[in-house]
Amino acid sequence: MKKRVINRFPGQGAAAVLGLLPFLLLLLAYAWGSQVRLEANPEDKLLPAMSSLAAAVERVALEPNRRTGELQLWADSAASLQRLAAGLAVASLLALVTGLATGMVPYVRAALAPFVRVLSMVPPMAILPILFIVFGLGELSKVVLIVLGIAPCMMRDLQQRVMELPSEQLVKAQTLGAHSGQILWRVVLPQTLPRLIDSLRLNLGPAFLFLIAAEAIAAESGLGYRIFLVRRYLAMDTILPYVVWITLLAFLMDLALRGVSRWAFPWFHQGQERA
Amino acid sequence: MMGALLEVKQVWKEYGSSIVLEKLNLTVKEGEFCTIVGTSGCGKTTFLRMLLGQEGPSRGTLLLDGKPMPAEPGPDRGIVFQRYSVFPHMSVLDNVTFGLEVTRSRLLGRLFGGARRKAREEAAAMLAQVGLGHALERYPSELSGGMQQRLAIAQALIKKPRILLLDEPFGALDPGIRADMHALVLKLWKESGLTIFMITHDLKEGFKLGTRLLVFDKPRLDAQAPNRYGATITYDLAIGRDEPALLEEIQGAVTETSRFIHDSR
């Protein structure tokens, strides 16, 4: 008998093939488009052939830069990832502290929650010039942009997550004789950490956005800097591999965070699968 | 003669213009097992929240041991809710040890070395009493509903509270498991001399378990203003054996209120 389409599920193999299909189609479309354009004009730079992409990757990843002597891709990646890591770490810490405080303590919530709500509406890119003026053109202003870009949303998210903990648990802890500090330390904080990782995963995309934006405007190294530098020469053979590389980095970071969460907080994921 | 453990004198509870409880009077002695029945919307849970200290009465006095009820939950009153009573991020053993750790280590809420070992042994002994001795290292999400409630009971009892509050603790359990839990609660009550308040939807359960049955019901129903009159205790009975005729009568009265409240929503 024929089932409705919403009741039909692919098997494991079929799901894997289906998942790969869009990637494959995109690749084919690119190869076809590139071939058509290059046939019309061998000097075309917009869609370089796979072979020129491979050559460019080899050049940036394996051969020292003629001016600096560095392996360009790795030097750029290291510079960008340092900024990103610093931004993510500071944002997470701020979000955790603020989220716990506003989520748990009504007085702190009354004082800070409206402020955070407004802060999260400030468009970070609009204050980038201020950051450059205040913090200079060095590393600090880029890290601050990432922090200002994602921390307010993470704070709001974590406050919400803390407040979503069943009140039964907090009452129970009080009937067991725990004071506020112990409830924070033993009941709320451990349950907030996996939610912090979730929040971080969701904010990886925006974090990369602010990183690339800051690097595009003022930097001397970094993935975003390179892309915007070679744009002047229409060097699509460098830009495209860089974009793929950034995407891959973000994807792997997401995967790693998920792995850490499953390993460190098995109880959190058991609960999720049942729910 | 021993004084009353809990005294409720002319207590009213109102939210704005809607009256939840009115003219509530009750005296409970140490060691009683009160089952509280009544249809939803008759203030059973409000009464429980008042016993917990989460809410105070709008009027009247609520005395615990002759002193006003504290305004927040404390270790003298343990609680088991229908759900979410246990900590999902702690193993079964840690869930019970937690209660000992928070009083023995005021700063960190964590014990180390010999003190930790001793607390864990006490917790394990408590868990063996409720039949969870084999599941010490599991997380609550790996337990069945009945086992989770056993854990919640063990967690509450490790603090040796004077009063144990049970808020429809077995409402979500299968009938067979429920009978096992009844036996467990009766055993623990007899051994410990606790005072128990248990809310239940199930009148039969109320008759079977308690020494005293309290029925929360609205004596006056006004279809034009359903929240004009609050609920109060309409039956306060010493029980201990099944009394079919009485059960029938209460069932009739409670069902009428239930239909009324349902229709007026």
Q: Which chain A residues touch B155 with a CB distance below 8 Å?
A: 172, 176
**Same domain? B184 vs B143:** no
Closest CA to B32 of B7, B11, B9, B68: B7
Touching check for B139 and chain A: CB below 8 Å?
A: yes
Predicted confidence at residue A111, as pLDDT, reads: 96
**Same domain? B25 vs B150:** no
Structure tokens at A141: 């202003």
Tell me if B37 is assigned to some domain.
Answer: yes
Tell me if A162 is assigned to some domain.
Answer: yes
Structure tokens at B219: 């004596």
Instruction: Quickly list H helices, chain B.
Output: 44-52, 92-104, 113-129, 145-157, 175-192, 203-209, 244-263
Q: B2: distance to nearest CA of chain A, Å?
A: 25
Tell me if B82 is assigned to some domain.
Answer: no
What distance lies between CA B228 and its chain's CA centroid? 27
Cα dist. A253→A146, A200, A249 in Å?
16, 10, 6
Predicted confidence at residue B17, as pLDDT, reads: 82
- pTM of the shown model: 0.86
Of B139, B160, B181, the residue that ends a domain is B160
Tell me if B221 is assigned to some domain.
Answer: yes
**Same domain? B109 vs B28:** no
Measured distance CA(B129)–CA(B127) in Å, rounded: 5
Cα dist. A271→A105, A274, B173 in Å?
26, 5, 19
Full DSSP string of A189-206: HHHHHHHHHHHHHHTHHH
What residue in B sits closest to A189 (Cα-Cα)? B89
Is the Cβ pair A181, B74 closer than 8 Å? Answer: no
Number of domains in chain A: 1
**Same domain? B184 vs B258:** yes
Structure tokens at A107: 């007085």
Q: Which chain A residues touch B122 with a CB distance below 8 Å?
A: none
**Same domain? B148 vs B262:** no
Is the Cβ pair B109, A185 closer than 8 Å? Answer: yes
B53: left (phi over 0), alpha (psi -120 to 50) or beta: left
Full DSSP string of A25-44: HHHHHHHHHHHHHHHH-TT-
Structure tokens at A46: 């917009």
| Mean pLDDT calculated for residue range A206-221 | 92
Instruction: Quickly state the pLDDT bin for A175 (edges 50, 70, 90).
Output: very high
- Asked whether the predicted pLDDT for residue A89 surpasses 50, the reply is yes
Residue with more model confidence, A82 or B188 = A82
Is the Cβ pair B87, A177 closer than 8 Å? Answer: no
Q: Which chain A residues touch B72 with a CB distance below 8 Å?
A: 174
Report the CATH number at residue A95: 1.10.3720.10
Of B160, B176, B196, the residue that ends a domain is B160
Predicted confidence at residue B265, as pLDDT, reads: 59
As to burial, measured by CB atoms within 10 angstroms (0-12 exposed, 13-18 middle, 19+ buried), residue A20 is: exposed
Give the gyration radius of chain B's Cα atoms. 19
Structure tokens at B40: 């939803």
| Mean pLDDT calculated for residue range A171-176 | 94
The total of other beta-carbon atoms located within 10 Å of residue B71's CB is 10
Task: Map tokens 């239940």 to a residue.
Answer: B200
Tell me if A27 is assigned to some domain.
Answer: no
Q: How many residues does chain A have?
A: 275
Is the Cβ pair B156, A175 closer than 8 Å? Answer: yes
> Are β-strands B59-64 and B67-68 bridged in parallel, bridged antiparallel, or unpaired?
antiparallel
Tell me if B205 is assigned to some domain.
Answer: yes
Q: Which chain A residues touch B142 with a CB distance below 8 Å?
A: 270
- Asked whether the predicted pLDDT for residue A11 surpasses 70, the reply is yes
**Same domain? B69 vs B112:** no
Predicted confidence at residue A82, as pLDDT, reads: 96
Tell me if A177 is assigned to some domain.
Answer: yes
Give yes or no for a contact between A177 and B102, defined as CB atoms under 8 angstroms apart.
yes
Number of domains in chain B: 2
| Mean pLDDT calculated for residue range A170-179 | 94
Sequence-separated (6 or more) residues with CB below 8 Å from residue B246: B237
**Same domain? B53 vs B173:** yes
Give the gyration radius of chain A's Cα atoms. 24
Give which of B85, B89, B97, B199 to mutate to test A binding, by max A Cβ within 10 Å.
B89
**Which residues from A are below 8 Å from B when comparing CB atoms?**
166, 168-169, 171-179, 181-182, 185-187, 190-191, 265-268, 270-271, 274
Task: Map tokens 């058991």 to a residue.
Answer: A270
Q: Which of B79, B107, B140 sits opposite A172 (nearest CB)?
A: B79
Is the Cβ pair B102, A168 closer than 8 Å? Answer: no
Predicted confidence at residue A271, as pLDDT, reads: 57
Instruction: Quickly list H helices, B141-225.
Output: 145-157, 175-192, 203-209
Predicted confidence at residue A155, as pLDDT, reads: 96
3-state SS record for A9-27: CCCHHHHHHHHHHHHHHHH
What residue in A sits closest to B77 (Cα-Cα)? A175
Predicted confidence at residue B84, as pLDDT, reads: 86
Q: Structural domain of residue B58, as residue ranges?
A: 1-76+164-265
**Same domain? B260 vs B175:** yes
Tell me if B81 is assigned to some domain.
Answer: no
Touching check for B77 and chain A: CB below 8 Å?
A: yes
Tell me if A104 is assigned to some domain.
Answer: yes
Q: Which of B88, B102, B107 sits opposite A178 (nearest CB)?
A: B102
**Same domain? B72 vs B94:** no
**Same domain? B101 vs B217:** no
Sequence-separated (6 or more) residues with CB below 8 Å from residue A167: none
Tell me if B64 is assigned to some domain.
Answer: yes
Q: Which chain A residues touch B141 with a CB distance below 8 Å?
A: 267, 270-271, 274
Q: B241: distance to nearest CA of chain A, Å?
A: 32
Report the CATH number at residue B180: 3.40.50.300
Residue with more model confidence, A179 or B11 = A179
Is the Cβ pair B81, A172 closer than 8 Å? Answer: yes
Query: Strand, coil or helix: what is B223?
Result: coil
Least confidently predicted of A38-47, A63-72, A157-166: A63-72
Of B160, B180, B202, the residue that ends a domain is B160
Q: A260: distance to nearest CA of chain B, Å?
A: 16
User: What value, to the nearest 5°, has the Cα angle with vertex B155 and ends B151 and B161?
Assistant: 140
Per-residue pLDDT of A54-76, as tens digits, reads 999 999 888 888 888 888 999 99
Predicted confidence at residue A274, as pLDDT, reads: 43
Q: Which of B79, B101, B107 sits opposite A175 (nearest CB)?
A: B79
Tell me if A26 is assigned to some domain.
Answer: no
Tell me if A146 is assigned to some domain.
Answer: yes
Tell me if B226 is assigned to some domain.
Answer: yes
Using the Cα atoms of residue A260, residue A265, residue A269 and residue A270 in order, give the sign of their dihedral.
positive
**Same domain? B174 vs B264:** yes
Q: Structural domain of residue A259, as residue ranges?
A: 60-266
Predicted confidence at residue B93, as pLDDT, reads: 95
pLDDT tens, chain B, 265 aa long? 456 888 888 888 888 888 888 888 888 888 889 999 888 878 888 889 999 988 888 888 888 888 888 989 999 999 999 888 899 999 999 999 999 999 988 888 888 988 999 999 999 999 998 889 899 999 999 998 889 999 999 999 999 899 999 998 888 888 888 888 888 888 888 888 889 999 988 888 888 888 888 888 888 777 777 777 788 888 887 776 555 566 666 667 777 777 777 676 5
Using the Cα atoms of residue A47, residue A50, residue A53 and residue A55 in order, give the sign of their dihedral.
negative
| Mean pLDDT calculated for residue range A100-121 | 95
Give yes or no for a contact between A48 and A237, defined as CB atoms under 8 angstroms apart.
yes
Tell me if A13 is assigned to some domain.
Answer: no
**Same domain? B254 vs B133:** no
Structure tokens at B49: 């929240």
Touching check for B169 and chain A: CB below 8 Å?
A: no
DSSP conformational letter for A102 = H
Tell me if A107 is assigned to some domain.
Answer: yes
Predicted confidence at residue B244, as pLDDT, reads: 59
Instruction: Quickly list H helices, A48-188.
Output: 50-62, 72-104, 106-119, 128-135, 139-164, 167-175, 180-182
Give yes or no for a contact between B5 and B28, defined as CB atoms under 8 angstroms apart.
yes
